[in-house]
Structure 1
Amino acid sequence: MVHRNASLTPTGRLRLALCVVEQGWSLRRAAERFQVSHTTVARWVGRYRQHGPAGMNDRSSRPHHSPNRTSPEVEALVVMLRQEHKIGPVRLSVRAGVAPSTAHAILRRHGVPVLAACDRATGEPIRRYERATPGELVHVDVKKLGRIPDGGGHKVLGRAQGRANQVRTAGGGYLCLHTALDDHSRLAYTEILPDEKAATCAAFLRRAHAWFASHGITIERVLTDNAWAYRKTTWHTTCTDLHITPRFTRPWRPQTNGKVERFHRTLLDEWAYHQPYTSETQRQAAFPDWLDWYNYHRPHTGVGGNTPASRGTNLTEQHI
């Protein structure tokens, strides 16, 4: 890459060198013609005579010798501490006795990815994937959410009164958010249901299948965790009726279903806990508008800043 302040590109340097070497121009004449200094002309002419056209490219500014570079023993210690404890440069610097910037440079030299790109449990780089077409794989999961009693929960009334309102007789307890999210487009279909029983999950899948079909998407596979509701005959029978192949995540590996898990986190941040609601009815009334915003209008970083609907088939009404 040519330096942004460079007077000459590799092609211009070659022309300059050829004028001097092949056509016999003087250094002064070449400097005036190409609007550079005499030393610049001499440099590129010398490199051309020594290396030919290949010498016209920029060289690395990296020094030939680095006597103050961190010793291999310290670098090995930093990498070992990172692998064992899965900590970042700041904490590594304290344990290894180097500056945080040095610890960061060591990790980069050894090709160690940043913590955000690694699995928290194993420390291994996360392998990201995306299906090629909508409907090829749909992630299904359930998220429990505490109900808001009439009059408000702890965000409105404070912790003490909020705890008193958590009992079922006061309108507390839990509800279940059932979500089906398309792997390719991130298009989401969510229902707020009272439980996660096998019959409830199977009925939700039928409605989700119909909703995606209305958007021109045919579900081919569904990926769920190993909850008992998805292992029941009811779920398998429903999948067979809808010509859907059921798939399951590895035990204790929720990352496999991470896209719907991340959607639920977005849902909690931007809808469920976005403002202090005074009742569950008020919160649920705001949900359809938020889901419409997510599918049709909200830029999604996972699909290049586009909307989920923009990756669907014949979907309109989306804009940023």
Structure 2
Amino acid sequence: MPHANAPMTERGRLRLARCVVDDGWPLRRAAERFQVSPTTAKRWADRYRVEGPVGMVDRSSRPHRSPRRTPAPVERKVLHLRAKRRWGPARIGGRLGVAASTCHAVLRRAGVARLAHLDRATGRPVRRYEHAAPGDLVHVDVKKLGNIPDGGGWRIHGRARGDRNGRASTTARRNGHPVIGYAYLHTAIDDHSRLAYTEILHDERKETAAAFWQRAHTWFGSHGITVRRVITDNGSCYKSFLWRDTLHELGISMKKTRPFRPQTNGKVERFHRTLTDEWAYARPYSSETARRAALPGWLHAYNNHRAHTALGGQPPASRVPNLTGQNI
């Protein structure tokens, strides 16, 4: 492609060459007419004589020979380590004594997929899927976070001060250490729209999970989404008869992930990562109460305003046509 300041396009080169070759113009006159140098005019005229109009297109600037290119044996070692170990350029370069930029160039020339696009267990490209309509599949999972003691925890003040705040916040002890407890984030996220519903609960028992789903089902229904199927991991609360019966009473089919394959439930796993990065550890909270108070605002922003890369930069609400639930 000609750059923005190029004096001629492919059509202009063809006109110049025809003036010189077909009409017999002198090179200097043609160069002056088309405002290029005589050398440039000669180059396009010579190409036209040999190749015709096809020769007016831009050619690759890649050299015919690259004597300083990485030797083939080294390239093979780079590709072997990537396929066998699934290492990145920096680690491969450290093993082979080659610059990381060189390893990156080798991998790029070979068309090797990025590590982020591979299943780390098998090394195969991740098969991404998305159901066609909201409610076709809802991912459910639990994320456990340590509670923040009053005054702030170790992430803000370091271990010594954080432990002092923990001892001041609770009288419970285990092996001489204060027990602050945990927050259990129960999440349900729609596969198609990525619309998410999260509650912070006191445990992950079957009764708690079943009650959470009753409220999540009502919430999705209020947003115009009819849930047809739910997928969970093989946690004890989701293997219980109570969980099975709760879904059955609501007319929802149940699906489980393959054992030791959290990627199957990857959408909710990725949501929990975003949740911890942008809410749980996004700023220094002075107490667990302050952190929990910030969750509803963040969830609203995530569902209605935050640009989602998997949705073309649009928020999840953009994929729920009947978001208010008025046209059910």
3-state SS in 2 of match to 1:286? helix
Could you list the per-position Cα deviations for residues 209-259 of structure 1 after superposition, in whole angstroms to 9, with x for gaps in the alignment?
Answer: 221122122222222111122222222222233332222222111122222
Distance in 1 between residues matched to 2:70 and 2:19, nearest whole Å:
46
Higher alpha-carbon deviation: 272-281 or 256-265: 272-281
Where structure 1 has 5 or more consecutive residues not aligned to the other structure, the ranges are none
Shift of 1:93: 2.1
Distance in 2 between residues matched to 1:228 and 1:199, nearest whole Å:
11
Change in 2 beyond 3 A, CA 1:149/1:98? closer
Identity of aligned residues (%): 61
Q: What's the Cα RMSD here?
A: 2.5
**Corresponding residue number in structure 2 for 1:198:** 206
Change in 2 beyond 3 A, CA 1:166/1:43? farther
**Corresponding residue number in structure 1 for 2:94:** 94
AA of the residue aligned to 2:68: N
Distance in 2 between residues matched to 1:167 and 1:135, nearest whole Å:
45
Could you list the per-position Cα deviations for residues 161-196 of structure 1 after superposition, in whole angstroms to 9, with x for gaps in the alignment?
Answer: 255357657772223111111122221101112222
Are residue 282 (structure 1) and residue 285 (structure 2) matched? Answer: no
AA of the residue aligned to 1:41: A
Q: Is the 8 A contact 2:186 2:199 kept in 1?
A: yes
**Corresponding residue number in structure 2 for 1:137:** 137
Change in 2 beyond 3 A, CA 1:11/1:243? farther
2:258 equivalent among 236, 246, 250: 250
3-state SS in 1 of match to 2:187? strand
Could you list the per-position Cα deviations for residues 112-150 of structure 1 after superposition, in whole angstroms to 9, with x for gaps in the alignment?
Answer: 223333333333333333333322222111111222345
TM-score by length of 1: 0.88
Where structure 2 has 5 or more consecutive residues not aligned to the other structure, the ranges are none
**Corresponding residue number in structure 1 for 2:192:** 184
3-state SS in 1 of match to 2:164? helix
**Corresponding residue number in structure 2 for 1:34:** 34
**Corresponding residue number in structure 2 for 1:313:** 321
Shift of 1:59: 0.8
**Corresponding residue number in structure 1 for 2:77:** 77
TM-score by length of 2: 0.86
Could you list the per-position Cα deviations for residues 35-92 of structure 1 after superposition, in whole angstroms to 9, with x for gaps in the alignment?
Answer: 2122222211221221222211111111112223222111111111222333222232
Q: Is the 8 A contact 2:150 2:287 kept in 1?
A: yes
Are residue 273 (structure 1) and residue 281 (structure 2) matched? Answer: yes
Q: Is the 8 A contact 1:17 1:45 kept in 2?
A: yes
1:216 equivalent among 210, 216, 224: 224
Q: Is the 8 A contact 2:232 2:238 kept in 1?
A: yes
Aligned length, in residue pairs: 316
2:310 equivalent among 275, 286, 302: 302
**Corresponding residue number in structure 1 for 2:25:** 25
Are residue 50 (structure 1) and residue 53 (structure 2) matched? Answer: no
Are residue 173 (structure 1) and residue 174 (structure 2) matched? Answer: no
